[in-house]
């Protein structure tokens, strides 16, 4: 069972690398277009989820109605460039269910997420980096020493009660699951998958 799960994660990540590369090479593509955003955002999850998910554009509009209760959207809190996100990695897309949307809305509003249960969120294109211990620190120069992490592909567990993660480590250099934003309402478990350290290889396990 574990081997099967690892295989699924590996195949999903391999697909995300190919898609990300295609986006980054396709400089002539209109990155504000519905087609580009649907492809970039929905590929943040394995295709068996992303292909059937609702996709929300960077302007908040629904670009595609889904059928499985999952939602894919850009999760980058930085201002959207006039020409759109330069790549899927820059867009930081996340795919989640309705409970995950509650977490996203709480985080973006600076309020504690109010969820009915734990939920998972996929980010197979990774993110542009942030301070692991302080929510909202988006520039490396402002991060605490040694706490900046630009993530590659990962899965996240967003708990209804952040206190349930108290016994997990916060060290992101081991390759194992770790807590981001510990001690805050936004504490969640980061679960690295293959390719996680591609943007910050110096933090990979030695």
Q: For residues 65-91, give the mean pLDDT.
A: 97
For helices 2-25 and 34-42, give the axis angle rounded to 10 degrees: 150
Gap between the Cα atoms of 143 and 40, Å rounded: 28
SS (H, E, C) the chain: CHHHHHHHHHHHHHHHHHHHHHHHHCCCCCCCCHHHHHHHHHCCCCHHHHCCCEEECCCCCEEECCCCCCEEEECCCCCCCCCCCCCHHHHCEEEECHHHHHHHHHHHHCCCCCCCCCEEEEECCCCCCEECCCCCCCCHHHCCCCCEECCCCEEEEECCCHHHHCCCCCCCCCCCCEEECCCCCCCEEEEECCCCCCCCHHHCCC
The string of pLDDT tens digits covering residues 129-179 is: 999 999 999 999 999 999 999 999 999 999 999 999 999 999 999 999 999
The per-residue pLDDT for 24 is 44
The per-residue pLDDT for 12 is 44
What percent of the chain has pLDDT above 90? 86
Gap between the Cα atoms of 197 and 158, Å rounded: 21
Gap between the Cα atoms of 40 and 23, Å rounded: 8
Is the separation of the CB atoms in 70 and 97 below 8 Å? yes
The string of pLDDT tens digits covering residues 5-35 is: 333 343 344 444 444 444 444 457 899 999 9
What percent of the chain has pLDDT above 70? 86
The per-residue pLDDT for 29 is 86
Checking if the pLDDT of 52 tops 70, the result is: yes
């Amino acid at each position: 069972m574990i081997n099967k799960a690892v295989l699924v994660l590996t195949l999903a990540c391999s697909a995300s690398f190919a898609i990300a590369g295609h986006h980054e090479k396709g400089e002539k593509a209109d990155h504000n277009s519905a087609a580009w955003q649907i492809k970039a955002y929905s590929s943040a999850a394995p295709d068996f989820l992303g292909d059937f998910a609702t996709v929300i554009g960077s302007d908040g509009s629904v670009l595609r109605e889904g059928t499985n209760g999952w939602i894919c959207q850009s999760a980058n809190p930085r201002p959207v460039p006039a020409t759109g996100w330069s790549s899927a990695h820059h867009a930081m897309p996340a795919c989640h269910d309705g409970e995950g949307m509650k977490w996203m809305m709480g985080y973006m509003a600076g309020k504690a997420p109010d969820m009915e249960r734990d939920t998972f969120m996929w980010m197979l294109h990774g993110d542009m980096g942030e301070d692991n211990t302080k929510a909202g620190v988006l520039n490396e120069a402002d991060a605490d020493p040694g706490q900046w992490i630009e993530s590659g592909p990962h899965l996240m567990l967003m708990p209804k009660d952040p206190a349930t993660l108290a016994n997990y480590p916060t060290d992101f250099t081991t390759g194992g699951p770790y807590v981001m934003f510990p001690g805050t309402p936004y504490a969640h478990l980061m679960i690295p998958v293959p390719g996680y350290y591609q943007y910050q290889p110096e933090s990979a396990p030695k």
